[in-house]
Amino acid sequence: MYRRKRILLLSSSIILLCACLIAGATFALFTDGRTVSTHLKAGDLDALLVRETGYYTVLNDQGIMTKHTVGEKDFTNDVTENFFGLDEENDLIVPQSAFEAIFRIENNGTVAFTYDVEITNSDTALAKQLYVEMGTAKRVETTDADGKVTVTYEYSEPTAEGYLNNGVFKLSDSVGTDEPVIVGGQSELMYARVTFVDDVDVEDDEFINNNVMDGEADFDLVVSAVQYTKVVEG
């Protein structure tokens, strides 16, 4: 009787030890792994500057002021041609000459952007007689009874204006700069107009423009685009 009891106790101890080993095995560390590749590609900001139409008045071979019109042209890459269409080497301006360009900014990239337009000045005697106006324009098409389409433009009041020598003239903080130009879209039409003012000194009754005969002035029209960073729900 005693011997049998001892054997049973021994058997119980073995069972308990096995239970401990099995329980301890649940704490073993198992490892496994997966590799997930992530590819990142940056967006592309690509703004195009396109002149839609314009005109300029210069002297012809007989010294008579004549008006010339210009058509659509992409100025994104061609920065050598005069934006208003003038032949810079040969065309001459006189008091009351004017030149104007109606243009837009297109989005050819993958990033929405806002934009700014400015004219940087040339502080010369002639620049003091050049008056700059910038604003927005609206294209209007009318069709007559014969089906002929006529295009005209309506102009806003200038949002930036002044004599060229007085500083830099910007379109920003007025129109078109808060709303983004989306991918594949374009800005509203804008105009830039420069007029050679026929100015007279009232006190001395002297034609001030006589002081700038044969003078020259240089200035740049600069368009800058900045990524639109406002986040919207996708």
* Cα–Cα distance for residue pair 166/101, rounded to 1 Å: 21
What pLDDT does 183 receive?
96
Antiparallel, parallel or unpaired: β 98-107 and 47-59: antiparallel
In tens digits, the chain (234 residues) has pLDDT values of 555 555 555 555 555 555 555 555 556 677 888 899 999 999 999 999 999 999 999 999 999 999 999 999 999 887 778 999 999 889 999 999 999 999 999 999 999 999 988 888 778 888 888 999 999 999 999 999 998 999 999 999 998 888 888 777 887 755 545 789 999 999 999 999 999 998 766 555 566 788 888 888 888 888 889 999 888 887
The structure tokens listed for 197 are 């003012």
Of 81, 55, 68, the closest CA to residue 194 belongs to 55
* Cα–Cα distance for residue pair 176/114, rounded to 1 Å: 8
CA 27 to chain centre: 62
- Kind and range of the H or E element at 62? none
Kindly state the DSSP code that residue 181 receives in the 8-state scheme: B
CA 48 to chain centre: 8
Residue 151 burial (CB count, 10 A):
10
CA 58 to chain centre: 30
CA 13 to chain centre: 84
Of 101, 91, 90, 102, the closest CA to residue 57 belongs to 91
Cβ within 8 Å of residue 112, ≥6 positions away? 180, 181, 182, 183, 227, 228
Predicted TM-score of the model (pTM): 0.79
